[in-house]
């Protein structure tokens, strides 16, 4: 990338001479006033003055004793002789500018340093927004306090609503539901991508069945977008260079969509049995050539849910808990448990917290070995 260096411009605040050169004119050629680096600005295209063979030595420094502008390679102020390593302050650089699509820069032109300083100072002491400044802060404080209070209250309510306490519950009954699912071994045909065949047995790709279809898109680089950027070097010059970023467009991605043939089990029927006792059974069925994996033959799958019904000791609240079949079978009507229930209204018990009170069932509590017994 080619990079070219040009003079920044500045205007003399004392005699009003405009478009002085940042690097060449360290003093106003008209009245002799020292350049104020804060008044530097980027020139328009017509006013650009190139700096040939620019040798960058560093950002200019301002002597903090006498305010004179010095080059970064001088160690003592050319005006008052102060040691710049201690009293030199690097000048503030202008923000970089990027040209728009037409290649034009935002025009800056002459700067009114006195006004800029005045505005900055006013902003610093808060002169302009004083009337709104204090209520603004009080407001912020109130908003924060309100938010904190809201969080605390919401948290408190949630804690109160969700708090649980252990309660004694009694088993009042059992219920169960069992489902037999009948699956038939069938042959099937389906279409899917070549790299993702369907699940099943004896899967085959039908010859000649694949077609090209769009599967998605991808981003591909399509040239690059370049803009001219100019950046302040801080020594009275600025540099212009091309900055390019890749440009992308989306492109369709094609893949093979194919026809597959194969065999698999498909659900053809299901039968549900249920009861409120402790003798669960499945619907007895006669299947087609059961146990043989051949088209037209059937197999069955078994599933069940087993629920115990509980109520609070005073009978005012009822709960149901799904359990494993073994646990469900081991529990008898009249067994007593403790269970964590929502304290606020005794609703929704936590079935995972069930613990036997009597130690009469497999859920019995094995806790509470007394400490100190072994010694
Ligand atoms: Zn002047
Ligand atoms: Zn000085």
Distance 69 CA to ligand 2 centre (A): 8
Write out pLDDT tens, residues 24-78: 999 999 999 989 999 999 999 899 999 998 899 999 999 999 888 999 999 999 8
Residue 236 DSSP one-character state: S
First to last CA, the chain: 85
Write out pLDDT tens, residues 269-321: 999 999 999 999 999 999 999 889 999 999 999 999 999 999 988 888 899 99
pLDDT tier for residue 363 given thresholds of 50, 70 and 90: low
- pLDDT at site 369: 30
- pLDDT at site 138: 59
Write out pLDDT tens, residues 109-118: 777 777 877 8
Write out pLDDT tens, residues 136-189: 555 678 889 999 999 999 999 888 888 888 888 899 999 999 999 999 999 999
Residues with CB under 5 A from ligand 1 (ion): 12, 14-15, 17, 28, 30-31, 33
Q: Which of 333, 319, 361, 321 lies closest to 176, judged by CA? A: 321
Rounded Cα distance between 77 and 53, Å, is 26
- pLDDT at site 35: 92
- pLDDT at site 350: 85
Output the pTM of the full model: 0.50
Q: Give the number of the ligand closest to the Cα of residue 63.
A: 2
Say whether 169 sits in a helix, a strand or coil: strand
Annotated domain spans of the chain? 129-158
Overall average pLDDT of the 68-92 stretch = 91
- pLDDT at site 316: 85
Helix or strand holding residue 56 (H, E):
none
Distance 27 CA to ligand 2 centre (A): 14
- pLDDT at site 248: 94
Distance 320 CA to ligand 2 centre (A): 89
The percentage of residues in the chain with a pLDDT greater than 90, rounded to a whole number, is 60
- pLDDT at site 365: 35
Report, in angstroms and rounded to the nearest whole number, the Rg of the chain calculated over CA atoms.
43
Distance 32 CA to ligand 1 centre (A): 6
- pLDDT at site 113: 76
Mean pLDDT score across all residues of the chain: 87
Rounded Cα distance between 20 and 7, Å, is 9
Kindly state the tokens that stand for 147.
């938010």
Kindly state the tokens that stand for 66.
């006498």
Kindly state the tokens that stand for 314.
């005073």
């Amino acid at each position: 990338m080619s990079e070219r260096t040009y003079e920044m411009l500045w205007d003399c605040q004392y005699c009003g001479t405009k478009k002085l050169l940042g690097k060449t004119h360290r003093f106003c050629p008209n009245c002799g006033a020292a350049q104020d680096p804060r008044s530097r600005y980027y020139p328009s295209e017509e006013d650009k003055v190139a700096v040939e063979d620019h040798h960058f030595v560093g950002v200019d420094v301002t002597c903090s004793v006498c305010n004179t502008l010095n080059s970064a390679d001088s160690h003592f102020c050319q005006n008052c002789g102060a040691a710049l390593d201690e009293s030199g302050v690097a000048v503030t650089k202008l923000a970089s500018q990027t040209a728009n699509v037409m290649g034009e820069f935002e025009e800056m032109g002459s700067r009114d340093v006195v006004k800029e300083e005045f505005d900055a100072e006013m902003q610093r002491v808060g002169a302009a927004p004083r009337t709104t400044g204090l209520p603004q802060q009080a407001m912020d404080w109130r908003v924060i306090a309100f938010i904190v209070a809201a969080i605390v209250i919401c948290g408190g309510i949630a804690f109160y609503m969700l708090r649980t306490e252990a309660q004694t519950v009694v088993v009042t009954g059992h219920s169960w539901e069992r489902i037999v699912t009948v699956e038939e071994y069938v042959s099937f045909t389906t279409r899917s991508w070549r790299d993702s065949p369907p699940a099943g047995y004896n899967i085959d790709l039908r010859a000649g069945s694949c077609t090209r279809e769009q599967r998605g898109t991808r981003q591909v680089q399509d040239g690059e977008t370049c803009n001219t950027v100019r950046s302040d070097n801080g020594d009275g010059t600025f540099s212009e260079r091309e900055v390019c970023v890749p440009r992308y467009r989306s492109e369709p991605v094609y893949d093979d969509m194919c026809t597959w043939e194969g065999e698999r089990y498909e659900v053809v029927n299901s039968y549900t049995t249920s009861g409120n006792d402790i003798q669960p059974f499945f619907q007895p069925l006669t299947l087609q050539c059961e146990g043989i994996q051949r088209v037209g033959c059937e197999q069955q799958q078994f599933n069940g849910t087993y629920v115990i019904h509980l109520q609070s000791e005073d009978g005012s609240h009822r709960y149901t808990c799904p359990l494993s079949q073994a646990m469900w079978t081991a529990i008898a009507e009249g067994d007593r448990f403790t269970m964590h229930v929502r304290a606020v209204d005794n609703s929704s018990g936590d079935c995972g917290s069930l613990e036997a009170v009597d130690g009469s069932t497999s859920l019995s509590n094995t806790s509470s070995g007394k400490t100190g017994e072994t010694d």
